């Protein structure tokens, strides 16, 4: 079985490629990238499917390193099947899923369960992130080595901060010795308790309890200091504040092994949007003011922020059709992340090459998983994008089981046309949904 993608613009920063070339996939691997590969004659070499992709963009498969697939435990919000279907529709060939399921992914049997479910779904690749502490309680470390052997690619108590500096120190040291990255959800709970949105003028006007930016900054500073002191590394999840961007920028300048990610809502929205009291906008970290938003964009621009991840956090209407204070935290993003990120390209903030780094190359590198490249001989995980396709977000058409999308009704430009995993076309924009 061969697949020949003809005439597309191939953007692969891992090989410094950005030109119109043909790409041949054979036996699930990237076989050749070259100009004008011969189109097999009809009837003779019928084992080759040919797709004309003139005007389209071909990139290494996108990897979303921060999602919540909700299985096991909250299957009414999302399942591994529905979540990976949503990933494919959003152009992602792989996702890393956080550990705050029920039960928590804090032991190898849960990791194993997730991987078996993912294999059965056979859609996007799934990379489990295991918990740092047992039951995310911040007291006892999980068995990092056993979890790694079961298939966990990283560690995070995401949803919760790693409560104490002491535990974080030991986690970073131990994980580093096992070559596992630790993903830090930065939140000082003593400053965020009861909070519902970003603290500032808008929260004052709306009378909603505020979450100050320093709740994130203080923890980011703590974790960077620990990484520096111990000579280990840390990945800062969902950066949303100007000060955290600056902390990361400064840490990188000083040679500390810190990487950082942000999510599309942090560079797209400001807290002014909260005036609707729409609970789909309730998320942690909260959507910040315009200065923070601009700083996040600045961090993307100069590479301080390595990764764009969705922080896809499905919740059902039971958790969202309620008063703002009672609403669950999180929004879904798998099916809108690409288009919202392409807007950064459109606005000249980043190049398409930088976008591919942030959504494919860097996440693969940070997690230490395959992918992020179209190098010959590697698995053919490929995303084909129409960067000019305009569409209207319709949350009711999503593959995700949940509808907590604040971008419903928004006009966006750019869409995944085809998502190829291991050489197999798992998603085609024009095909009927799975």
Q: Which residues bind another protein (CB under 8 A)?
A: 193-194, 196, 199-201, 203-210, 212, 276-277, 317-318, 321-326
Token output for 131: 């918990």
For another protein, the closer of residues 315 and 354 by Cβ is 315
Contact 378, 30 (CB under 8 A): yes
**Whether 311 is catalytic:** yes
Considering the complex, what minimum distance in angstroms separates the CB of residue 412 from another protein? Answer: 24
Q: Which does 128 bind (CB under 5 to 8 A by kind): Zn ion, another protein, none?
A: none
Q: How long, in residues, is the chain?
A: 434
Residue 149 interface partner, choices Zn ion, another protein, none, CB cut-off 5-8 Å depending on type? none
Helix then strand then coil, in percent of the chain rounded to 5, is 35, 25, 40
Give me the least distance between CB of 205 and another protein, in Å please.
Answer: 7
Nearer to Zn ion, 306 or 381 (CB): 306
Residue 95 contacts which entry, another protein, Zn ion, none (Cβ below 5-8 A, type-dependent): none
Is the Cβ–Cβ distance between 430 and 354 less than 8 Å?
A: no
Minimal distance in Å, beta carbon 349 to Zn ion? 24
CB of 277 to another protein, least distance (A): 3
* Beta-carbon-side half-sphere exposure of residue 350 (alpha carbons within 13 Å): 27
Using the minimum distance from each CB to Zn ion, give the nearer residue, 185 or 293: 185
Q: Of Zn ion, another protein, none, which one sits near residue 158, judging by CB under 5 to 8 A according to partner kind?
A: Zn ion
Find which of Zn ion, another protein, none residue 417 binds, CB within 5 to 8 Å per kind: none
Of the candidates 413, 421, 394, which has an alpha carbon nearest to the alpha carbon of residue 338? 413
Tokens of 111: 């990791």
Residues 6+ apart with CB under 8 A from 249: 299, 302, 304
For another protein, the closer of residues 115 and 197 by Cβ is 197
Please choose, from the candidates 110, 157, 114, the residue with its C-alpha nearest in 3D space to the C-alpha of residue 132: 157
Contact partners, residue 26, CB within 8 Å, separation at least 6: 1, 2, 3, 423
Residue 193, contacted partner among Zn ion, another protein, none, CB below 5-8 A by kind: another protein
List residues near Zn ion by CB under 5 A: 158, 185
Nearer to another protein, 15 or 204 (CB): 204
CB 307 within 8 Å of CB 358:
yes
Please pick, among 311, 321, 394, 430, the residue that the annotation labels catalytic.
311
Sheet of 92-97: strand order equals 62-67, 92-97, 125-130, 154-155
Is 185 or 288 the residue whose CB approaches Zn ion more closely?
A: 185
Task: Please report how close the Cβ of residue 265 comes to another protein at its closest, in angstroms.
Answer: 19
Least distance between another protein and beta carbon 295 (Å): 18
Q: Are 184 and 220 in contact (CB under 8 A)?
A: yes
| Residues tagged active-site | 311
């Amino acid at each position: 079985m061969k697949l020949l993608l003809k005439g597309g613009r191939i953007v692969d920063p891992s090989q410094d490629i950005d030109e119109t070339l043909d790409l041949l996939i054979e036996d699930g691997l990237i076989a050749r990238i070259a100009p004008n590969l011969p189109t097999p004659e009809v009837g003779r070499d019928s084992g080759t499917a040919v797709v004309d992709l003139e005007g389209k963009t071909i990139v290494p498969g996108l990897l979303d390193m921060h999602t919540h697939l909700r299985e096991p435990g909250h299957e009414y919000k999302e399942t591994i099947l529905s979540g990976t279907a949503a990933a494919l529709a959003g152009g992602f060939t792989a996702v890393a899923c956080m550990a705050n399921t029920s039960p928590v992914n804090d032991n190898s049997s849960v990791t194993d369960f997730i991987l078996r479910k993912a294999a059965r779904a056979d859609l996007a690749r799934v990379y489990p992130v295991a918990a740092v502490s047992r039951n995310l309680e911040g007291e006892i470390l999980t068995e990092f080595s056993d979890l790694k052997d079961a298939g966990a690619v990283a560690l995070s108590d995401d949803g919760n901060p790693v409560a104490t500096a002491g535990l974080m120190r030991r986690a970073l040291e131990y994980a580093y010795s096992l070559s596992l990255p630790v993903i830090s959800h930065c939140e000082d709970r003593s400053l965020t308790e009861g909070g519902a949105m970003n603290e500032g003028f808008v929260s004052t006007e709306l009378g909603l309890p505020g979450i100050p930016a320093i709740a994130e900054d203080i923890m980011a500073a703590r974790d960077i200091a620990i990484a520096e002191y111990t000579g280990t590394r840390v990945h800062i999840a969902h950066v949303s504040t100007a000060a955290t961007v600056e902390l990361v920028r400064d840490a990188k300048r000083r040679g500390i092994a810190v990487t950082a990610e942000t999510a599309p809502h942090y560079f797209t929205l400001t807290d002014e949007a909260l005036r609707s009291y729409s609970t789909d906008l309730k998320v942690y970290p909260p959507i910040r003011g315009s200065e923070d938003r601009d700083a996040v964009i600045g961090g993307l621009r100069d590479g301080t922020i390595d990764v764009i991840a969705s922080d896809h956090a499905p919740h059902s209407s039971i958790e969202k059709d309620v008063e703002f204070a009672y609403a669950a935290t999180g929004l879904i993003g798998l099916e809108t992340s690409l288009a919202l990120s392409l807007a950064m390209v459109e606005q000249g903030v980043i190049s398409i090459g930088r976008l591919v780094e942030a959504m494919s190359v860097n996440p693969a590198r940070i997690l230490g998983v395959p992918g992020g490249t179209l190098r010959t001989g590697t698995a053919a995980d490929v995303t084909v994008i129409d960067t000019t396709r305009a569409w209207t977000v319709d949350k009711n058409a999503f593959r995700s089981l949940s509808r907590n999308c604040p971008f419903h009704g928004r006009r966006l430009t750019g869409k995944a046309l085809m998502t190829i995993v291991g050489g197999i076309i798992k998603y085609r924009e024009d095909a009927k949904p799975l």
